Amino acid sequence: MGLAPRLSFGRDRLMECYFWAVGMTPFEAKFSNLRKGLTKVASLITLIDDIYDVYGTLDELQLFTTAVER
């Protein structure tokens, strides 16, 4: 998809997200897909936070924050 070069400002937190997912789920093989999914969601949330920090104008950030709080 070529997203990495275009999102170079984002933090590389894949391992931290995975370890967070491991800590949230029982360490059994049957939960491996859950850990993968949680890792992806946590990585996406981290990327959204980075976009929020880098590209958001004050007006846009206020609208986004209001939408998330609802």
The pLDDT, as a whole number, for residue 64 is: 86
Does 33 score more than 90 pLDDT? yes
Tokens of 22: 């491991």
Mean pLDDT value across residues 35-64: 88
DSSP letters, 18-42, are HHHHHHHS--SGGGHHHHHHHHHHH
8-25 tens-digit pLDDT: 777 778 889 889 899 988
Q: Is residue 30 a contact partner of residue 22, using CB atoms and an 8 Å limit? A: no
* Separation CA 47–CA 66 (nearest Å): 19
Residue 44 pLDDT level (bands cut at 50, 70, 90)? confident
Tokens of 33: 């897909």
pTM, full prediction: 0.71
